[in-house]
Amino acid sequence: MRNINEHTITEAVLRGMAGCESERLKEVMSALVRHLHDFAREVKLSEAEWEAGIRFLTATGQKCDDKRQEFILLSDTLGLSTLVVAQNHPVSTQATEATVFGPFYVEGAPQLPQGADISGGAAGEPLFVRATVHGPKGEAVADATVNVWQADSEGLYDVQRSALESAQGRALFRTDAQGRLDFRSKLPVPYPIPTDGPVGGMLKALERHPWRPAHVHFMIEAPDYQTLITHVFRDGDTYLDSDAVYGVRSSLVGDFRAHPAGSQAPDGSTAAQAFYTLDFDFVLERASG
């Protein structure tokens, strides 16, 4: 294998993978090499641009730690996350749509009882969430594991606040026998994705805004059902049609209803301050096979 040139390099690399025993790995890597080479040809990538790309990816990796996932942010802002979610979860007429996972989920959220307040003392307008989890035939999904996470009223997740020692806006619940889940929180607000890293630099260079419409994340798991990873977005948000990570689905826009001070809250108390309610029904797909 000598005298490789720009016309023969792709075939040479593909030939080198011919002996790979995993057909899937061979398929994925062959396509990656073909598209990567075609990309470089299409834009006639310069050496300086190639070096800038290497520096960018290096910085992206270096920005990652156990609480910061810059590569997910990169995937999200390039639309790759939405593409992968969409092609693996075709829109169903019955089930709740999936959307991007995002970079702010962390394992080990505190398990809280029904009705608990997940805000952990964070400021914001009170929100009462009343959710149900059903299967495709309308059956209640009891004892489903529901992870909930959201940003606070300043648009930050708890993992973005290094001074915090306990969870805020993050909890793990189990649905009751009727598939219900009630909890308290604070009204989510729109937030910019973190812009202090290479992905923020990329958005700025591309003159793209970093904002996401207000939302609450849910991950719902139950035996015999497909895991649902999704958000519920706040209706009326400025950024519903320009989400920086392309995650909005019309079916996931919830009715965050405002109630004035003095109204009866869902927990039976008379609310001293104005509050919001959100009622949302999640429908899971049956696991196949």
Site string for Fe ion, 118-157 (x = CB under 5 A): ----------------------------------------
* Stretch of 14-22, 100-108, 134-142, 237-245 contacting Fe ion, by CB under 5 A: 100-108
Separation CA 160–CA 207 (nearest Å):
24
Query: What is the DSSP-derived secondary structure letter of residue 171?
Result: E
Nearer to Fe ion, 193 or 222 (CB): 193
Q: Residue 29 is which amino acid?
A: M
∠ CA 97-100-105, nearest 5°, is 120
Nearer to Fe ion, 102 or 194 (CB): 102
Q: Which residue is nearest to Fe ion (CB)?
A: 102
* Stretch of 65-73, 98-106, 123-131, 199-207 contacting Fe ion, by CB under 5 A: 98-106
Pairing of strands 126-134, 180-186: antiparallel
Site string for Fe ion, 46-85 (x = CB under 5 A): ----------------------------------------
Least CB distance to Fe ion at residue 215 (A):
6
Nearer to Fe ion, 102 or 135 (CB): 102
Give per-residue burial for 183-204: e unless 16+ CB within 10 Å, then b: bbbbbbbbbebbeebbbbebbe
Q: Pick from 103, 134, 118: which is nearest to 228 by CA?
A: 134
Binding site for Fe ion (CB under 5 A): 102
